[in-house]
Structure 1
Amino acid sequence: MPKSLVVSLATAGAILLPLSVILLLWIFCKKLKPSQKTLAHNATVDDHYKRIPYHALLRGTNGFSIANLLGRGSYGAVYKCVLDTEDRAFAVKVFNLGQSRYSKSFEVECEAMRRIRHRCLIKIITSCSSVNHQGQEFKALVFEFMPNGNLDGWLHPKSQELTTNNTLSLAQRLDIAANIVDAIEYLHNYCQPSVIHCDLKPSNILLAGDMSARVGDFGISRILQENTSEGMQSSYSSTGIRGSIGYVAPEYGEGSAVSTAGDIYSLGILLLEMFTGRSPTEGTFRDSLGLHKFVEDALPDRSLEIADPTMWLHNGQPDNSTSIRIQELLVSVFRLGISCSKQQPRDRALTREAAEEMHDIRDAYLKFIGEHGAEKEAPTREIQNSLE
């Protein structure tokens, strides 16, 4: 055999052998590696908890009784649950599986929650995918329980008697707003790829025992394509209007793709509602007069007039400097809300800008309060009188 042929065969063998080993290892690892769907489903469970059986949730909610019902939405119902093995309460979101899109919501929320972990986002504990006592498919997510309910209940109390126990002070609203923008900035700028919430509204903002806020309900959220810049991001799977009436970005009604700008619009409306106490869907807002226009027309001179008067139940005796500072602060918050909720997506504030501005407003107020002793939040009439 020619020497050149021997050398060629030896060289080819030296190349093919390691390639064959690498190929075998790749095939072996692929067989061991679970599917992406399995990963997404399993990763929704907190490390401390195993998947929970249906009967444990049935017992913990007393048969999903009305007494334990915390809320109901288009995608299902949420119940308070106390498990036999735990001495603390949980919230159980039971999905309505009557329609395929609601079943899909369970998968969407699992995938979204798999990707995110932040102090201002609701924490998922575990999940349940089983059959109920009637043999029907059953899917549920178990979350940390928020003892102070949702923001909507505090902005629009059902009780006729308004007190400091069922309303929010100015400082509390500023803290809650800062928590919300922190959550949205995390979803838009620090998740890879970015996550769009798609349904920001007061009922999806939950309040912990210390009144800190958690953004929840990712049932219609969307995950963005990677390698897109802020302000130009859009979903690869959006169809139709996504969100709630009054909070949904106007471009969604025209068939535009889901985007970070859509969340910012909802955030702007939410901020305006938080500090005016006026819902964007109330009867006084119709035709060309919406919450955005209502606030825009009032600035800057009537900012105290349109502010939610229940803030001032948490009162003290104001001096002139306090009154002026509160008015300036309200103008800043309202302008931020207006900037976020502009009609055209390109004109809205970017997520990072909104987060920085909200923190600057909150921090400036805390600094002012620190320099002037205890918090002074006076009734609107007293503040307005001191400015006249």
Structure 2
Amino acid sequence: MAYYLDKIFLLLFLFTLSTPSKSANMTDIEALFAIKNEIIDPFESLSSWNESVPLCQWRGVVCGTRNQRVIELNLLDHKLAGVLSPFVGNLSFLIRLDVGNNTISGNIPPELGRLTRLRHLYLQNNSFYGEIPVNLSFCSNLVELWAYKNNLVGVLPRELGLLTKLKYFDFSYNKLIGEIPKSYGNFSSLLEMYLLDNDLEGKIPDEFGKLKSLEIFDADFNRLSGRIPSSFYNLTSLKVIDVSFNQLEGTLPRDLGINLPNLECLSISENQFTGSLPYSLFNLTGLAYLYVGKNDLGGRVPRNLFRGIIPSTFSSLKSLQVLDLSQNKLSGMVPKYLEGLALHFLNLSFNDFEGGLPQRGIFENASVDSFVGNSRICGGVPGLKLPNCNFSHSKKMNFKLVTLVILGILGLVVMVCAFFFYRFGRSKRTIPSLDSNLNQLIAMSYQSILKVTNGFSTSNLIGVGSYGYVYKGILETDGKHVAIKVLNLLQYGAIKSFIAECEALRNVRHRNLVKLLTACSCVDYRGNEFKALVYEFMANGSLEDWLHPDNSRPNVQPRRLGFLQRMIIAIDVASAIHYLHNDCQISIVHCDLKPSNILLDNELVAHVGDFGLARFLHLTDEATCRIQTSSSTFKGSIGYIAPEYGMGSEASMQGDVYSFGIVLLEMLTGKRPTDDMFGGDLSLHDFVRNAMPDGALEIVDPLLILEEEEISRERSQIPRFIRRQKMVEGIISLFGVGIVCSMYDSSKRKNMKEVVRELCSIRDSLVGCTI
């Protein structure tokens, strides 16, 4: 009996030891269930949060190894809505909480203040509203606090100054008012502070001079006023100062470049600064971005230097990439040494510069907008269309005259040679027939096509087009992956489409065109006519798949294209169309450009395909353009077809330009031209044009902004505000290209050569700044 009593007492003792642990674990489980009950989860991201799955295997949940308590909750980018339950405060062992990039609304729970172990708090890019809870000041171990892009109101709580371990602080893109609290000067560990795009006012606190570790201070687009504290200019760790678009005043200290040796970016544009740029600024060989436009800067350069506000010492700024001196009172010549700097952007508009512009470096592709408002400048590259500079030196004039005479003679010789070549050489040139082209391509048999597609198995089916089905397969000869378009010959126009595609792709060779490997024209086992086209396989599908993924499949991770990727794809497509229009033996008009006809290989290089509606432009004896059509009536795709085609106009290069413009606008907005919101008097073209330029960020695909924010999270070496500003500039520029290309009046559209040049110029200005 005593033996059994001992066993019972032992079991009771063990039970008492295990009960607290179980109870503690249940606290976390109950808290997470309460959180789930307040969350709207359309894609069932939290389906694993149930009794049949162990707590530490729930999606987004990380447990500690010692006590199995929840230490991390990661719900980033899960497309969640609803509100954040106050029960989150019961996760007392939580170190990291990330609910960023969702659409969660409601107040930020004050109960977060209970999480004294919390070090990382991510609330960004949601719909939280109300005031910032003062209780966050109890999270004494907090290192990161990200709450940008919400709808928070009220003031910045001064109590947050107690968070002395804080390194990253971001309440940008909210609706905050009032002054920046002086207590934030106690953020002794702070590295980066972002307060941009609110409605903050008052002065930058003098106490900020104590932030000895601060590297980035970004408070642009507010209503800050007064002078920047002198102590702030002594923070030697500072790399970025962005206070543009405020109401700040005063002069820049003379020793700025000495006291801030690590400064990489200075942005004070759109304020009320006076005086001149300090001479010491030119000691900053690491300075890459200088925005001082739209102030009242002026004055003369110190005596051992050139007259004017741009001294020769600027040439020492070898890292300078962005220089904005617009809307000041600067004068003198534009220095030629600016040609040799690594500039990607230059704005000298609305000053009083004079004389001839340089023509190399940044000046080669500069826009006239960079120099407008300087009535006494001249010369420059021809595209600027500035007045010619008058040189009095006779030798220069004589040299110019001799040069013009020589060029005139050479031009005449070239014209004569071209005439004889055209007159006598052209008659020997013949346009190859469709039949001969087709015969050269036929190589595969019906049997081989049947075998490669596994008997036209649905498991090999990868797409359905206007005239048939597309299957994937592997060639037996060399193991090459291919895509095979099998035409439905019962569909009207299918045979003409087959012939047109063979003709179009037989002689074209370009890295951005789908490569036609071979063709098959024979009869099947039942004696029916059979035609198929064999292409290189594009592993990443079509641009349509990426822009508009099928979210109905919950287990498939949606794919995303970043801003730079989309721009490079646009350049690929534009290059392909430019080649078809201008560099082929016989110019080709594609006639059906749209995202589903733009295919991406395994490196996301774009290839234009589907030439079933292609037209060929030939030069007749009367030197006019004649269109060879492959069908009696013209068809295109709704939303992408040029408006003049609907009025009976012939296919033209400008029609392709229109389609490209619509595709570019779709890539930037993420909206199809056939979206339900477009109808009546509103089109995708009008939607974008009406929003420009101020509303560009309101209509751009949110995924592009999300990408920039994720880069911020990864601690990119490029300051966040610079990436944002360059991205905005790039978005506006690309929107501009899309708008001009998709003009209703075809005579106002660009040609594809101009489009390629402009897109490449935009790309060059952004590479290294966006990603």
Q: TM-score, normalised by structure 2?
A: 0.41
Superposed displacement of residue 226, structure 1: 2.2
- Structure 2 residue corresponding to 1:328, chosen from 729, 734, 741: 729
2:753 matches 1:352: yes
Deviations 1:172-197 (A, max 9, x none): 10110010000000000101220000
Per-residue CA deviations over 1:118-164 (Å, capped at 9, x if unaligned) read 00000011111111122210000100000100000000011267998
Does residue 302 (structure 1) correspond to residue 695 (structure 2)? The answer is yes
Question: Aligned equivalents of 2:760 and 2:727: distance in 1?
Answer: 16
Cα separation, 1, equivalents of 2:694 and 2:705: 19
Check 1:165–1:282 CA distance in 2 against 1; reply closer, same or farther (3 A cut).
closer
Q: Which residue of 2 aligns with 1:196?
A: 589
Indicate yes or no: 2:447 matched with 1:55: yes
Q: Any residues of structure 2 matched to 1:111-150 within 5 Å, and which?
A: 111-150=503-542
Counterpart code for 2:732: V
Measure how far apart 1:354 and its partner are.
1.0
Match of 2:473 among 59, 65, 81: 81
Q: What amino acid maps onto 1:203 in structure 2?
A: S
State how far apart, in whole Å, the 2-side matches of 1:240 and 1:58 are: 33
Specify the code of the residue in structure 2 equivalent to 1:56.
S
Checking the alignment, whether the CA contact within 8 Å between 1:95 and 1:138 is kept in structure 2 is yes
Secondary structure at the residue paired with 1:84?
coil
- Counterpart in the other structure of 1:26: none
What is the CA-CA distance between 1:88 and the residue it aligns to? 3.0
Q: Is the 8 A contact 2:542 2:595 kept in 1?
A: yes
Equivalent position SS for 2:532? strand
Report if the CA contact (8 A) 2:730-2:762 is conserved: yes
Question: Which shifted more, 204-213 or 318-327?
Answer: 318-327
Q: Following the alignment from structure 1 to structure 2, what is the Cα–Cα distance between the partners of residues 239 and 309? A: 43
Report if the CA contact (8 A) 1:169-1:312 is conserved: no
Per-residue deviation, 1:323: 1.1
* 2:566 counterpart residue number: 173
What percent identity do the matched residue pairs reach? 46
Residue 78 of structure 1 aligns with an amino acid whose one-letter code is V
Partner of 1:110: 502
Q: Does 1:153 align with 2:550?
A: no
Whether the aligned pair in 1 keeps the contact of 2:640 and 2:662 (CA below 8 Å) is: yes
Native 8 Å contact 1:268 1:339 kept in 2: yes
Matched, 1:271 2:664: yes
Code of the residue aligned with 2:438 in structure 1: it is H
Q: Which amino acid aligns with 2:582?
A: N
For the residue of structure 1 that corresponds to 2:476, the secondary structure is coil
Distance 1:55 1:285, change over 3 A: same
- Offset, 1:305: 1.4
Partners in 2 of 1:313 and 1:44 — Cα distance? 46
The structure in which a higher percent of residues are helix is: 1
State the 1:165 CA deviation. Answer: 5.7
SS in 1 for 2:618: coil
Matches within 5 A, 1:254-269: 254-269=647-662
Per the alignment, do residues 162 and 118 of structure 1 end up closer, same or farther by CA in structure 2, a change over 3 Å counting?
Answer: farther
Q: In structure 2, do the counterparts of structure 1 residues 193 and 72 end up closer, same or farther at CA, with 3 Å as the change threshold?
A: same
Query: In proportion to residue count, which structure has more strand?
Result: 2
- 1:316 is aligned to 711
Compared CA separation, residues 145 and 300, structure 1 to 2 (3 A) = same
Whole-Å separation in 1 of the counterparts to 2:626 and 2:479: 43
**In structure 2, do the counterparts of structure 1 residues 226 and 93 end up closer, same or farther at CA, with 3 Å as the change threshold?**
same
Q: Give the match for residue 21 of structure 1.
A: none
SS state at 2:711 partner: coil
The partner residue of 1:207 within 600, 603, 606 is 600
CA 1:181–1:67 in 2, change beyond 3 Å: closer, same or farther?
Answer: same
Contact 1:240 1:255 in 2 (8 A): no
1:36 is matched with 433
Partner secondary structure for residue 581 of structure 2: helix
Task: Note if contact 1:239-1:255 (Cα within 8 Å) is conserved in structure 2.
Answer: no
CA distance in 1, matches of 2:643, 2:743: 10
Say whether the 8 Å CA contact 2:590–2:613 is kept in structure 1.
yes
- Residue of structure 2 aligned with 1:216, choices 609, 616, 622: 609
State the Cα distance separating 1:336 from its structure 2 match.
0.3
Deviation at 1:42, TM superposition (A): 3.8
Classify the secondary structure of the residue corresponding to 2:530. strand
Q: How is 1:7-22 mapped onto 2 (pairs within 5 angstroms)?
A: none
CA contact 2:571–2:759 (8 Å) conserved in 1 = yes
| CA–CA distance in structure 2, aligned partners of residues 264 and 162 of structure 1 | 38
Q: Quick one: distance in 2 between partners of 1:320 and 1:350?
A: 34
Count residues in correspondence: 330
Distance 1:185 1:223 in 2: 14
User: What's the secondary structure of 2:627's corresponding residue?
Assistant: coil
Give the superposition deviation at 1:76: 1.1
Q: Distance in 1 between matches of 2:700 and 2:556?
A: 17
1:240 shift after superposition: 3.8
Q: Which moved more, 1:280-289 or 1:308-317?
A: 308-317
After TM superposition, give the deviation of residue 38 of structure 1 in Å.
4.3
* Greater CA drift, 334-343 or 233-242: 233-242
**Is residue 645–residue 651 contact of structure 2 (8 Å, CA) maintained in 1?**
yes
Change over 3 Å in CA distance of 1:346–1:239 after alignment to 2:
farther
Report what 2:131 is aligned to. none
Query: Would the alpha carbon gap of residues 301 and 234 (structure 1) be closer, same or farther in structure 2, given more than 3 Å must change?
Result: farther
One-letter amino acid of the counterpart of residue 40, structure 1? N
Q: Match of 1:253?
A: 646
Contact 2:669/2:699 (8 A) holds in 1: yes
Greater Cα shift, 82-91 or 104-113: 82-91
Cα deviation for residue 86 of structure 1 reads 3.4
The secondary structure found in structure 2 opposite 1:52 is coil
Query: 1:366: which partner in 2?
Result: 767
Task: Say whether the 8 Å CA contact 2:666–2:673 is kept in structure 1.
Answer: yes
Q: What's the offset of the Cα at 1:325? A: 1.0
Structure 1 position 239, deviation (Å)? 4.6
Task: Report deviation, 1:199.
Answer: 0.2
Q: For structure 1, which segment, 73-82 or 332-341, has the greater mean C-alpha deviation from structure 2 after superposition?
A: 73-82
Structure having greater relative contact order (Cα 8 Å, sep ≥ 6): 1
**Partner Cα separation in structure 1 for residue 643 and residue 562 of structure 2:** 31
Q: Structure 2: give runs of 5+ residues left out of the alignment.
A: 1-429, 713-718
Contact 1:234/1:259 (CA < 8 Å) preserved in 2?
A: no
Q: TM-score, normalised by structure 1?
A: 0.80
Instruction: Give how far 1:75 is off.
Output: 1.2
What do residues 287-306 of structure 1 show as CA deviations (whole Å, max 9, x unaligned)?
A: 11010000001100111111
Distance 1:255 1:37 in 2: 26
Q: Is the 8 A contact 2:661 2:742 kept in 1?
A: yes
The CA deviation string for residues 348-383 of structure 1, in whole angstroms up to 9 with x for no partner, is 1112111111111122111535xxxxx2xxxxxxxx
For the structure 1 residues 53 and 239, does the alpha-carbon distance in structure 2 shift closer, same or farther, using more than 3 Å as the test? Answer: closer
How much does 1:233 deviate?
A: 5.3
- Contact 1:192/1:226 (CA < 8 Å) preserved in 2? no
Asked if structure 2 preserves the Cα contact closer than 8 Å seen for 1:233 and 1:260, the reply is no
Match of 1:338 in 2: 739
Q: Which residue of 2 aligns with 1:23?
A: none
Instruction: Report what 2:216 is aligned to.
Output: none
- Matched residues in 1 for 2:726 and 2:519: separation? 47
